[in-house]
Chain A
Amino acid sequence: MTIHHLKEDRSLTVVTLSLGKQVLAIPAVRLREILDPMPVTRVPGAGPLVPAVLNVRGTVVPLANLKQVLRIPETEADDRRRILVLDVTIAGEAAVVAVEADAVHEVATIETAIIEPVPAAASAWPPEYLTGLYRGGEGFVLMPDLDHILSVLAQRPMA
């Protein structure tokens, strides 16, 4: 999804969440459910980016580590930790993926006019993985390009 797609509508409803100290926003239409932390099954040989699978109501759903992908430093987990189950498109096919968040904040409606493209010089995050960003109450809120991230992850070499 490009920033232009996002700006086709005047406003956008997003879910905001924290990964480490960074705040991110994901379009609310993508969100299926938010789960409390639960046991996951390690997938040997899958690498640290998509390290495990979990059982979401009878379906086996992969768990992606967005912090690793976006190069956000780990912080200590507390009881605000949640698992978000998201509808995504991986290499053109609909799929369900779970991501861990250190905290989920709120569902908010933002004006798409405030979304800005990621400056190419913003070396803190891989710009190719972000659709855009906007200035929130406490600093920048990143909007990850989930479909692109996961399509790239599906291509990664595995054991």
Chain B
Amino acid sequence: MMDDMTAIFREEVRDLLESLERGLLDLKSRPDDMGLVNQVFRDLHTVKGSGAMFGFTELSAFIHEFETVFDKVRSGHLAVGPDLLRLALAAKDEIPGLVEGEADPEGRRVAILSGLHGLLGGAPVAEAVAEMAPAEAGPTGDGALRLTFRLTGAALALGARPDLVLDELRGLGAVEIAADLADVPPLDRLDVEACAFGWKMVLPASVTAAQVEEVFLFVDADWSLDAVAAETVETVVDVVAVPVPEAAPAAKAASPKAPVERPVAKVEAKVEPKAETKTEAKTEAKSEAGATIRVPAERLDALMDSVGELVIAEARLAQLARDLRDPALIATAEQITRLAGGLRDATMTMRMVPMRSLVGRFRRLVLDLSDKLGKPVEFRVTGEDTELDKTVIEKLADPLVHVLRNALDHGMEMPEARVAAGKSREGLVELVAEHAGAEVLIKVRDDGKGMDPAKLREKAIAKGLILPETQMTEAQIFALIFEPGFSTAEAVTDLSGRGVGMDVVRRTIDALRGTIQIESALGRGTTVTLRLPLTLAIIEGLQIEVAGEQYILPMPNVQEIVELPPEKAEPSRTEDFLDVRGGFVPFLRLRQLFDCAGTPGAGQNVVIVRAGEARVGIVVDRIIGTNQTVIKQMSKLHAGVRALSGATLLGNGSIALILDVGHLVGMSRQQGDAAQAVRQEVLA
């Protein structure tokens, strides 16, 4: 039971950390956005609260310090600066370790905490002054509420925890929490079981009495909520306005890193939006909680498997119904087909995950890299809501990390070089995700120095990857960077440059049945485009037959089907090209490729398929038709067969193998090169 609960807690922490990281990264570009500050505070507060609830005391204690800093930011005593964000991100990174109960032998956590303390300590004068002001209501402003409460009767004896109550109130936005010691009796009259303390604090105007009542639902307490009188606010502003300019120089002397001279007017101006964002976020959070259910990924996979079986059984039923010609059975089969289709679509939609879940990680990566390399970079993301199958998303993380690293490490120039080249000091790296038909395009674009095809070519020749006389298009030359062992960096860095990364990228994208394309303009930057199928689970397939064997071609890749002209029926080394409406398309004979026995009958067809920009014709014996193809991965024992991307079950229970169009196109290109060599030989 407890294990279940901590599992839930861990999952919750993971989500909160994601949200926290996003908030912190956004704060970098919008340090004055109080909505973000509040979000960060709320996330921290929730982690701390649930951590304490599940007995993660060390975690709670750690976050408490962290939270205190953001409390100061929230109340306007501390400005968001690069140091604060750096420490906050580092602190965030420690949280998973704390949850797992890992030790901290290098004392990183202590260092982070003392760093955070340093930030707090940097503004002691201002703080002291602010606290001296009796009703400092800077962050709350007009209509702020003052809450006082006092535990009554035997509340303590009944287990009331004032600290938890205060935590909850902090969650509502309480600031300036102070104990009211007025009723503490002299020691000889002290009743140890009663709580002699009271507390007072200032709450934002947006807090309703009902919310406060909720806090005190299980606590025996007298409480009162009053608006802070308008004139008090005025005097407060007076009081605060005077000491701050005085305090500022002192604070500066103490720590130049803590900018405290926040003009009061500015603080006041922030009040309204803050209250608004808070309520908005609250309603949003509520409606979200009502509309979403958390489901373990395995259950989704199991559902998808069942739907896959259903689709196969449905195909079999439809075939039987056609064979038996019973109208009632045909009608039922058609209904089942419709229902299965609906169920399939619904299940696939469930598995779709937005790119957003990946992007947070990348933003952090770019920030860290740009710091480490000393190349200031703006990271812009568009299309975060673009959805992809969860398996695709999971596998996409690594290749995208490599591509982004490459863009920063090799693509981006140092700031001085950029200025010299007449560009802005700060580089731009863009991640764009968008739908295009049955595919998703993911582009990583940088405005760095671009790649020089001539230089790449030289290098490939030097490395023996290509022959000096090989004719290549620019796109083919750029594709060389995906060859194993090819690296263009002059120096090997610890980030990238060992020439392994891009090789991994191509392998992973191949495995996802996607393609990669590179465009680059010297001096202006490089764009890497990944094209990926929307889903890996079920595709529309074209079933074909070669020498009695069944294969599937993914429909999104199929462009058209033409007849093989009789004069081309005989295999030839040089003439395997088709004239398709003025364009020459090379073709491959599956019979030859797959070593099939026997000779083909008359009337072979050519299926023209496309992968990326390239097209190839595939000669088959017969076209069977289209069907819903449930993709089953090939086992490790067949993972090396590159011409196949998976297998599927047909209506009659037999297996058809799914052809990997990207690989076939690549093969035809090699064959084309060979054929060209032969032609040149003949001509010479």
A residues near B (Cβ < 8 Å) are 39, 41-46, 50, 53-55, 58-62, 64, 90-91, 93, 95, 97, 150, 153-154, 156-159
Smallest beta-carbon distance A50→chain B, Å: 4
Question: Is B218 an interface residue when CB atoms closer than 8 A count as contact?
Answer: no
Contact yes or no, A46 B641, CB < 8 A: yes
Q: Which residue of A lies closest to B313 (CB)?
A: A58
Contact yes or no, B654 A90, CB < 8 A: no
Question: Is B649 an interface residue when CB atoms closer than 8 A count as contact?
Answer: yes
Most chain B Cβ neighbours within 10 Å, of A43, A64, A95:
A43
Most chain B Cβ neighbours within 10 Å, of A42, A58, A64:
A58
Contact yes or no, A91 B649, CB < 8 A: no
Contact yes or no, B641 A41, CB < 8 A: no
Distance in angstroms between the alpha carbons of A90 and B635 in the assembled complex: 10
Contacts of A90 in B (CB 8 A): 635-637
Q: Which residue of A lies closest to B305 (CB)?
A: A58
When A and B form their complex, which 3 residue pairs have the shortest distance between CB atoms, in order from nearest? A158-B640, A44-B594, A41-B655
Contact yes or no, A62 B638, CB < 8 A: yes
Distance in angstroms between the alpha carbons of A95 and B550 in the assembled complex: 25
Question: How would residues 638 to 670 of chain B score, 1 for a CB under 8 Å from any chain A CB and 0 otherwise?
Answer: 111111100101000111110000000000000
Name A55's contact: one of B596, B641, B642, B655 (CB within 8 Å).
B655
Contacts of A62 in B (CB 8 A): 634-635, 637-638
Cross-chain pairs A/B with CB under 8 angstroms, 21 sampled = A39-B654, A41-B549, A41-B647, A41-B656, A43-B641, A44-B595, A44-B596, A44-B657, A45-B641, A46-B638, A46-B641, A53-B635, A54-B655, A55-B649, A58-B309, A58-B312, A59-B632, A62-B634, A93-B636, A154-B636, A158-B640
Question: Is B593 an interface residue when CB atoms closer than 8 A count as contact?
Answer: yes
Contacts of B644 in A (CB 8 A): 43-45
Smallest beta-carbon distance B238→chain A, Å: 72
Count how many pairs of residues, one from A and one from B, have CB atoms less than 8 Å apart in the complex.
83
Contacts of A53 in B (CB 8 A): 634-635, 638, 647, 655, 657
Distance in angstroms between the alpha carbons of A39 and B550 in the assembled complex: 13
Contacts of B632 in A (CB 8 A): 59-60
12 extra A-B contacts, CB within 8 A, seeds A45-B642, A62-B635, A154-B637: A42-B549, A43-B641, A44-B595, A50-B638, A54-B655, A55-B649, A55-B653, A90-B635, A93-B636, A158-B641, A158-B642, A159-B641
Smallest beta-carbon distance A99→chain B, Å: 11
Distance in angstroms between the alpha carbons of A46 and B638 in the assembled complex: 6
Contacts of B635 in A (CB 8 A): 53, 60-62, 90, 95, 97
Q: Which residue of A lies closest to B306 (CB)?
A: A58
Distance in angstroms between the alpha carbons of A94 and B651 in the assembled complex: 28
- Interface size on B, as a range, is 20 to 34
Smallest beta-carbon distance A64→chain B, Å: 7
Name A91's contact: one of B549, B636, B647 (CB within 8 Å).
B636
Contacts of B638 in A (CB 8 A): 43, 46, 50, 53, 62, 158
Smallest beta-carbon distance B624→chain A, Å: 15
Distance in angstroms between the alpha carbons of A59 and B593 in the assembled complex: 27
Distance in angstroms between the alpha carbons of A51 and B639 in the assembled complex: 13
Distance in angstroms between the alpha carbons of A2 and B391 in the assembled complex: 36
Contacts of A95 in B (CB 8 A): 635-636
Contact yes or no, A43 B657, CB < 8 A: yes
Distance in angstroms between the alpha carbons of A41 and B596 in the assembled complex: 13
Contacts of B637 in A (CB 8 A): 46, 50, 62, 64, 90, 97, 150, 153-154
Distance in angstroms between the alpha carbons of A50 and B638 in the assembled complex: 8
Q: Which residue of A lies closest to B549 (CB)?
A: A42
Distance in angstroms between the alpha carbons of A100 and B275 in the assembled complex: 72
Contacts of B596 in A (CB 8 A): 44
Q: Which residue of B lies closest to A96 (CB)?
A: B635
Distance in angstroms between the alpha carbons of A58 and B647 in the assembled complex: 11
Distance in angstroms between the alpha carbons of A156 and B656 in the assembled complex: 23
Contacts of A154 in B (CB 8 A): 636-637, 639-640
Most chain B Cβ neighbours within 10 Å, of A44, A45, A50, A53:
A44
Contacts of A42 in B (CB 8 A): 549
Q: Which residue of A lies closest to B632 (CB)?
A: A60
Distance in angstroms between the alpha carbons of A42 and B260 in the assembled complex: 74
Contact yes or no, B636 A159, CB < 8 A: no
Contacts of B309 in A (CB 8 A): 58
Distance in angstroms between the alpha carbons of A91 and B636 in the assembled complex: 9
Contacts of B643 in A (CB 8 A): 44-45, 159
8 Å CB interface, B300-323 against A: 309, 312
Most chain A Cβ neighbours within 10 Å, of B309, B636, B644, B657:
B636
Distance in angstroms between the alpha carbons of A125 and B639 in the assembled complex: 27
Contact yes or no, B649 A41, CB < 8 A: no
Smallest beta-carbon distance B590→chain A, Å: 9
Contact yes or no, B654 A60, CB < 8 A: no
Contact yes or no, B636 A55, CB < 8 A: no
Decide: A44 near B649, CB < 8 A? Known: A60-B634, A90-B636, A153-B637: no
Name B642's contact: one of A61, A93, A159 (CB within 8 Å).
A159
Q: Which residue of A lies closest to B550 (CB)?
A: A41
Smallest beta-carbon distance A35→chain B, Å: 13
Contacts of B550 in A (CB 8 A): 41
